Structure 1
Amino acid sequence: MDTLSSDIGRQEHSLKEFMPITAKTCVFRQAIGPCAYDCVKLTVIRDGSAILCSQLGKQPVTIGDVVLLCSNTLCAAEPEDRCTVSTILIDTDYMIDHMFWKHAGLLSDRLEAKDLIAKLYLEPAQVLRLGVQRLEVIEPWLDELARLSARCRYANRFNRIQALWFLIADVISPFIKVSPVRLSRYQRERLRPSTPRHRRFVPLRSEAMQAAQLLRGDLAHHWTIRELADQVHLSVPQFSRVFTESYGKTPMAYLTMLRIEELARLLRETDLPVEYAIEAVGWHSMSYTIRVFRAYVGITPGVYRRNHNTVV
């Protein structure tokens, strides 16, 4: 009975712990699928061979091949005798974050990163022919990643798990087919609130710090660029340039970000009605707030409250 209880406890613990990167090595002797995952799936063929059935049609895979499946892509596989594979599952939001930071100089936020991924990876299923030599390079990393995944201690081994994934991805990524997309420095938008925050690492001007403090100190005030510029004794064009260089976004975009963060806190930590919380941060239009909040957080204020409110 005690053993059963401890097994159940371990299972419950593993279910509770979310792991954006997880890996597993297994041998299969019978047909699998068709099935789809709401994540990116990488399957490395380490021994044996199989027939893959997906949007690619029927295709043989063997030692040294990697099957890349985008999220929600149906795929089935039938081994020829038996097949040993290592499978890595990667959360799509995690991939979006990495795409954002890879092109942080050109993209304004995660929404643009998501759009870029959709344009780059038009093929939902790919077979990457790494070969045996490259497989031998990544096999120790696959084994360690699988061991760490089985222990379900993602937070404790966060850096090592990420490091292993980066090492594997560095070998695999040159084989991934992507669509030609022209990126330009003019793509960056500074008017949209973004997270993580854009900024160059330069010393903050005292005028920018003073203006940011004014905004944080009174979110509900109807601030204008001219009023802020007057407060810090700069012309409007000069103030806009100084502030944007310091914080990576315009003063009004920065104010929007602060208001959304405060609104999210009020929705999480208080029982203030949504409309009153919106007014408390300086907005008076419910439709505008819903549109901006959804663009920044991904869901409406009402849904955010239901999912995250901690007030009993």
Structure 2
Amino acid sequence: MAFDCVKLIVVRSGSALLFSEFGARHVKVGDVVLLAAQTLCGAEPEGSVSTTTIYLDRDYVIDQVFWQYAAQFCDRHNARDFFDAHYSTPAQIVRIGEDRAEMLMPWLDELAALSLDGPRPERFLRAQAMLFSVLDVIVPFVTTTAGTTKAGRGSAVIPSAPRHRQFRPLRIDARHVAQLIRDDPARRWTVQELAEAVHLSPSQLRRVFVEAFGKAPIAYLTMVRTERIAKLLRSTELPVKQIAAQVGWVDAEFAARQFRRSLGVTPSAYRRFVCAPNLSDGAQRAVDCTHAPATS
């Protein structure tokens, strides 16, 4: 799955095999998985695994970067450019070690308790304190990328409205296009068709869609098709060529390349990793693959 937010996944116990743009990697206690918004990631528990996941609105993260480096920026646009340049890796495993992971556990537990009924205004500062304590341990180990801060874009800054923790884009036309793609991913969509559906020009649609989802409409379509392929690989024994055709890719080799680019392994390797090879009954295999034990 991919989410419209930044995700921090802290492994508390057990281990799992993770699939994302970094390939197939094992994670265990002492590891933290960092995922950018709209980044595909799947996991297969190795026996069992327990995790705590923190979901952070991307705009909220950029706000923290803005105040952290406020002396360097003319306005918030500079902070966004800085964030995009220095934190461009979509998926990474941060190895903080078991001792540091143990430090996080009480803070994570309290943060989870504060989030059960939604963060209450009177407990907002406490939740922030717990979050910042967690980030203080993790962020020094995060891999950054080289980049330079772009020149200022002017003094006028128009703040965006909060998304109220729903992690949904503000633009209804962007949401509508995303829903069209999800409802019929096998269709051979073009940007022109999608733009006409929401009465925008293709260039306008690209702009608002990238602002909302962090990627262009056709790249989003590729992500949705990859999600569907992964689901069919887990739940059926259909050949990869037939699965690719079902999601809209006639060329199975092209589909395999797109799948590997998103999840780090080929469709055949993904099926071997996720589904137990010693089960001959297809229906039983689908059940076992879908209901692997895990807690979060």
TM-score, normalising length from structure 1?
0.49
Q: Which residue of 2 aligns with 1:180?
A: 146
Q: 1:123 aligns with which of 89, 114, 120?
A: 89
Q: Does 1:83 align with 2:46?
A: no
| 8 Å Cα contact 1:110/1:195 also seen in 2 | no
Report the Cα offset of residue 192 of structure 1.
2.1
Q: Which residue of 1 aligns with 2:156?
A: 193
Q: Which residue of 1 aligns with 2:32?
A: 66
Stretches (4+) displaced over 6 A = none
Q: Secondary structure at the match of 2:72?
A: coil
Q: Which residue of 2 aligns with 1:39?
A: 5
Q: Which residue of 2 aligns with 1:171?
A: 137
Report the AA paired with residue 156 of structure 2. P
Q: Which residue of 2 aligns with 1:96?
A: 62
Q: Secondary structure at the match of 1:67?
A: strand
Q: Secondary structure at the match of 1:156?
A: helix
Q: Does 1:110 align with 2:60?
A: no
- Structure 2 CA distance, aligned partners of 1:173 and 1:39? 17
- Structure 1 CA distance, aligned partners of 2:79 and 2:3? 21
Q: Secondary structure at the match of 1:151?
A: coil
Match runs of 1:233-244 below 5 Å: none
Cα RMSD after superposing both structures: 2.2
| 8 Å Cα contact 2:77/2:152 also seen in 1 | no
Identify the structure with bigger relative contact order (alpha carbons < 8 Å, sequence gap 6+): 2
- Structure 2 CA distance, aligned partners of 1:122 and 1:55? 12
- Structure 2 CA distance, aligned partners of 1:122 and 1:96? 13
Unaligned runs of 5+ in 2: 160-210, 213-296
Which whole-Å deviations, capped at 9, do the CAs of 1:258-295 have from their partners, x for residues lacking one?
xxxxxxxxxxxxxxxxxxxxxxxxxxxxxxxxxxxxxx
Report the AA paired with residue 181 of structure 1. G
Report the AA paired with residue 93 of structure 2. V
- Structure 2 CA distance, aligned partners of 1:70 and 1:113? 16
Report the Cα offset of residue 94 of structure 1.
0.5
Q: Secondary structure at the match of 2:10?
A: strand
Match runs of 1:200-211 below 5 Å: none
Counterparts in 2 of 1:157 and 1:195: CA distance versus 1, 3 Å:
farther
| 8 Å Cα contact 1:41/1:71 also seen in 2 | yes
Report the Cα offset of residue 188 of structure 1.
5.2
Unaligned runs of 5+ in 1: 1-34, 197-297, 300-312
Report the AA paired with residue 179 of structure 1. T
Q: 1:152 aligns with which of 96, 118, 127?
A: 118
| 8 Å Cα contact 2:4/2:37 also seen in 1 | yes
Report the Cα offset of residue 78 of structure 1.
0.4
Report the Cα offset of residue 182 of structure 1.
4.1
| 8 Å Cα contact 1:106/1:188 also seen in 2 | no
Which structure has the greater CA radius of gyration?
Answer: 1
Q: Does 1:141 align with 2:107?
A: yes
| 8 Å Cα contact 1:41/1:90 also seen in 2 | yes
The count of corresponding residues between Structure 1 and Structure 2 is: 162
| 8 Å Cα contact 1:108/1:194 also seen in 2 | no
Report the AA paired with residue 156 of structure 1. E
Q: Secondary structure at the match of 1:37?
A: coil
